[in-house]
Structure 1
Amino acid sequence: MSLVYPGLNFTPLNCREDTLLWIVGVLLLLFCSLDVWYYLRAAFVLVRAWFLSPVFDITAEQTASGRVVLHDVDLCHMNNARYLRECDFARFSLYMRNGVFKGVRALGATMVVGATTIRYRRPLCVGEAFELRSRIVTWDEKSFYVEQRFVSCKDGMVSAVMFCKQNVLRSSPDKILQHLCKRKVEVPEFPEDLQHWINFISASSKALRGGKIMLLWILSGSLVLFGSFDVWYFLRGSWMVIKSWFQGPVRDVLAEQVINGRVLLHDLDFMCHMNNARYLRECDFARYAHCTRNGLFLAARALNATMVIGATTIRYRRSLAFGEAFELRTRIVAWDEKSFYMEQRFVSKTDGFISAVMLCRQNVIRGNPQKILDHLCKRKVDCPEISEDLQHWIRFISASSQALRAESGLEDKTK
């Protein structure tokens, strides 16, 4: 029976259970998120090496004992990655006892692993004891080279051999050793096998630098290309034509076609809404799709004609904001002896509001709209009635053209 304190709603037993629950939960989260044992063992190795007697011979071999435990194994033998983990701990002890860590810290330097190579000769099985023998073999102007051997305690066989290139940052091995030994230390001769590995690293580095140089050329060329041309315009225009080519054709030349769009970052101006120029850009892509699907492009090419923009007018009714989805609805509303007239509407998907309306005059060169339509439809196609607003805009174009001709002294020439 639990003891309930007067005026309190909990018992000491429940309080202890809650505390234990929190502790277990935090520890579980910690062990799931971090390799806790790595940090604990590394700290233990450093503290233990601190209290062991120092090793004054920098190149002397040091031995650490180990045993293959359950979390080291894969197919009942030591996993290849665990060998490198054990080598980490052995190097921590090596550098702590021979003073290299002390010299690195005194000179404000840092050491990082630059490369490793390991050869497995015989597996170490679960429960098997081994010795890990580590020594600094030699060094150059940038790195220490450390050899580490796994020696089975069962029969003394060298089960694996690893070489580690330990890079020194913000200093050099010579400076570290001079600081420790107070004299110039001669570099030991490089063993033949180690020299081959160093040659491999050098060749690999050159190959990677060559790859980086190639990548640099590619990126620089792309930067020049994107800086000189509106690459996305050409890519997207080509994509719209190809995509429309594989979609089903639209047999009705006057039918409205719809494409979907969204306001992206590169569409914005300083007001954080779609820039007025981007509306016309979107209309270009919509017309490419429209004329591909209804066959106008093919018919014009068959008659050796070309279509170019002669004039546009656009009215903005409400801004399209960043991320806003819209439909761009395109249709041919009329034509005359020289041009097609197309209407394009930006309709917000949020509420169906028509945010902008554009009229486009698509001039036909080396042909005329009627011939293109007759060729496409194999019959006479009547032009729809021209709406009042479109008539006003056509008159505006005509008046503007006459005024410009008069300024240039061309008023007597044919339009």
Structure 2
Amino acid sequence: MATGRVIVCSARRNDVKQQLVIQRGHGGHTAVDCGAWFLSPVFDITAEQTASGRVVLHDVDLCHMNNARYLRECDFARFSLYMRNGVFKGVRALGATMVVGATTIRYRRPLCVGEAFELRSRIVTWDEKSFYVEQRFVSCKDGMVSAVMFCKQNVLRSSPDKILQHLCKRKVEVPEFPEDLQHWINFISASSKALRGEMREAGFRVSIAIMLLWILSGSLVLFGSFDVWYFLRGSWMVIKSWFQGPIRDVLAEQVIHGRVLLHDLDFMCHMNNARYLRECDFARYAHCTRNGLFLATRALNATMVIGATTIRYRRSLAFGEAFELRTRIVAWDEKSFYMEQRFVSKADGFISAIMLCRQNVIRGNPQKILDHLCKRKVDCPEISEDLQHWIRFISASSQALRAESGLDDKTK
């Protein structure tokens, strides 16, 4: 007879806390995160869980943690979160599955080589289709929130309410949506509406295709302690773009071609969400080389760093599938360029994922760079509705974090 263990499912609304104790036996073991299985269960499904980490050599690009590595670390932390609070158990019992529908992340301060951090994860709220998870990278050095990410975790063949009702044996009330999260949800809705309208105008019908799962075979290659391929490929993209010749229109869309390879896959045999951001890095290198943005930035003794990214995954890119990555500057303000990058399947022209990147300019501003590059005043294009929602989300999130950490407005 299996030994029972006690799980307390808690729901919060208007500072009222209700608790229900249920008995659960030891269930099946999952191979996703073995470490979490041996840890004690978490009694509150919405409780924050903490994982510890440190930036090592294969995590870095310009001597700090590469933006794609943040999402990779968040993957592992979510596996642990769902195993310890029982969500994976409920998903499996209902014959459901969960996939990442969208992520957005703000980088507030780089994590440098050797720096220790805590990755704090919690389920903030949910709706009829998705859980919304917040994950924070907190520096152990001074407690600064170095980055904060929201993840929209879609539930397939079930719903978050059914999963929580299965675990808690009662109806669990939905926590209130924070203001910054609501802005991001509005952005997702507006972006989805715009893309559907764009496809209708082109006469394109979205068809549901049966995706074949490719069996991942062969051995995993250990690259040691340094991500050599990142630097080699980044250098190759810059050199290749240099010899392709300049593009005179700084707002023109540029296209690079790619294909999903074995080392791009995750456990579900499709392109891992962190690999999308890695591909976007290389596409931006090519884009800024050909339109002269890198040279103009260097001439003004300025530099550019990523301030935030948000990405929507609309359909998986399967193993061997060819795609185009289309990059363009869509707008700018007094501090940052806003760039849009689209993954378009070559098989049917479907936009599989779309990303917005906030490229901050240090020791300069976008308008000066463009004036220097074009030798004239360049007017900013009209900002789209979905981009406005995301900018407001960033502003609301920044204000909330400053208030929480007690920093004044000049800090960031």
TM-score (norm 2): 0.46
Of the structure 1 ranges 115-124 and 321-330, higher mean CA displacement relative to structure 2 is found in: 115-124
C-alpha contact 1:63 1:134 (8 A) present in aligned 2: yes
C-alpha contact 2:105 2:310 (8 A) present in aligned 1: no
| Structure 2 counterpart of 1:253 | 250
- How far off its partner does 1:146 sit? 77
C-alpha contact 2:102 2:312 (8 A) present in aligned 1: no
| Structure 1 counterpart of 2:279 | 282
Within 2, Cα distance between the matches of 1:255 and 1:157? 38
C-alpha contact 1:267 1:278 (8 A) present in aligned 2: yes
C-alpha contact 2:107 2:308 (8 A) present in aligned 1: no
| Structure 1 counterpart of 2:7 | none
Q: Which has the higher strand share?
A: 2
- How far off its partner does 1:255 sit? 0.2
C-alpha contact 1:340 1:363 (8 A) present in aligned 2: yes
C-alpha contact 2:99 2:154 (8 A) present in aligned 1: yes
SS of 1:208's equivalent in the other structure is: helix
SS of 1:84's equivalent in the other structure is: helix
Q: Deviation per CA, 1:39-61, whole angstroms, max 9, x where unpaired? A: x9999999999999999999999
> Given the superposition, is the C-alpha separation of residues 222 and 302 from structure 1 closer, same or farther in structure 2, using an over 3 Å criterion?
farther
C-alpha contact 2:54 2:114 (8 A) present in aligned 1: yes
Within 2, Cα distance between the matches of 1:394 and 1:59? 27
- How far off its partner does 1:413 sit? 3.5
Q: Deviation per CA, 1:186-229, whole angstroms, max 9, x where unpaired? A: 9999999999999999999999999xx99999999999993111
> Given the superposition, is the C-alpha separation of residues 353 and 304 from structure 1 closer, same or farther in structure 2, using an over 3 Å criterion?
same
> Given the superposition, is the C-alpha separation of residues 123 and 401 from structure 1 closer, same or farther in structure 2, using an over 3 Å criterion?
closer
> Given the superposition, is the C-alpha separation of residues 411 and 245 from structure 1 closer, same or farther in structure 2, using an over 3 Å criterion?
same
| Number of residue equivalences | 374
C-alpha contact 1:42 1:89 (8 A) present in aligned 2: no
Within 2, Cα distance between the matches of 1:106 and 1:92? 17
Q: Which has the higher helix share?
A: 1
> Given the superposition, is the C-alpha separation of residues 338 and 185 from structure 1 closer, same or farther in structure 2, using an over 3 Å criterion?
closer
> Given the superposition, is the C-alpha separation of residues 216 and 141 from structure 1 closer, same or farther in structure 2, using an over 3 Å criterion?
same
Of the structure 1 ranges 267-276 and 181-190, higher mean CA displacement relative to structure 2 is found in: 181-190
> Given the superposition, is the C-alpha separation of residues 200 and 217 from structure 1 closer, same or farther in structure 2, using an over 3 Å criterion?
farther
Of the structure 1 ranges 137-146 and 238-247, higher mean CA displacement relative to structure 2 is found in: 137-146
Q: Percent identity?
A: 97
* Aligned-residue RMSD, C-alpha: 29.7
Residues 62-73 of structure 1 mapped to structure 2, 5 A cutoff: none
Please say which structure displays the higher CA radius of gyration.
1
Within 1, Cα distance between the matches of 2:408 and 2:46? 98
> Given the superposition, is the C-alpha separation of residues 225 and 79 from structure 1 closer, same or farther in structure 2, using an over 3 Å criterion?
closer
C-alpha contact 2:59 2:227 (8 A) present in aligned 1: no
- How far off its partner does 1:368 sit? 0.3
TM-score (norm 1): 0.46
C-alpha contact 1:241 1:289 (8 A) present in aligned 2: yes
- How far off its partner does 1:346 sit? 0.1
SS of 1:222's equivalent in the other structure is: coil
Within 2, Cα distance between the matches of 1:115 and 1:371? 33
| Structure 2 counterpart of 1:239 | 236
> Given the superposition, is the C-alpha separation of residues 110 and 41 from structure 1 closer, same or farther in structure 2, using an over 3 Å criterion?
farther
- How far off its partner does 1:410 sit? 1.3
Within 1, Cα distance between the matches of 2:276 and 2:73? 63
SS of 2:18's equivalent in the other structure is: helix
Within 2, Cα distance between the matches of 1:248 and 1:164? 39
C-alpha contact 2:130 2:159 (8 A) present in aligned 1: yes
Out of 340, 343, 350, the position equivalent to 2:340 is 343
Of the structure 1 ranges 120-129 and 294-303, higher mean CA displacement relative to structure 2 is found in: 120-129
- How far off its partner does 1:411 sit? 3.7
Q: Deviation per CA, 1:72-117, whole angstroms, max 9, x where unpaired? A: 9999999999999999999999999999999999999999999999
C-alpha contact 2:107 2:306 (8 A) present in aligned 1: no
> Given the superposition, is the C-alpha separation of residues 182 and 74 from structure 1 closer, same or farther in structure 2, using an over 3 Å criterion?
same
Q: Deviation per CA, 1:144-203, whole angstroms, max 9, x where unpaired? A: 999999999999999999999999999999999999999999999999999999999999
List alignment gaps of at least 5 residues for structure 1.
1-39
Within 2, Cα distance between the matches of 1:79 and 1:231? 13
SS of 1:298's equivalent in the other structure is: helix
> Given the superposition, is the C-alpha separation of residues 155 and 207 from structure 1 closer, same or farther in structure 2, using an over 3 Å criterion?
same
Higher relative contact order (CA 8 A, sep 6+): 2
Q: Deviation per CA, 1:358-409, whole angstroms, max 9, x where unpaired? A: 0000000000000000000000000000000000000000111111111111
Within 1, Cα distance between the matches of 2:386 and 2:133? 85
C-alpha contact 1:45 1:93 (8 A) present in aligned 2: no
| Structure 2 counterpart of 1:162 | 149
C-alpha contact 2:106 2:308 (8 A) present in aligned 1: no
> Given the superposition, is the C-alpha separation of residues 253 and 215 from structure 1 closer, same or farther in structure 2, using an over 3 Å criterion?
closer
Q: Deviation per CA, 1:304-348, whole angstroms, max 9, x where unpaired? A: 000010000000000000000000000000000000000000000
- How far off its partner does 1:295 sit? 0.2
> Given the superposition, is the C-alpha separation of residues 47 and 153 from structure 1 closer, same or farther in structure 2, using an over 3 Å criterion?
farther
Within 2, Cα distance between the matches of 1:341 and 1:189? 30
| Structure 2 counterpart of 1:91 | 78
SS of 1:221's equivalent in the other structure is: coil
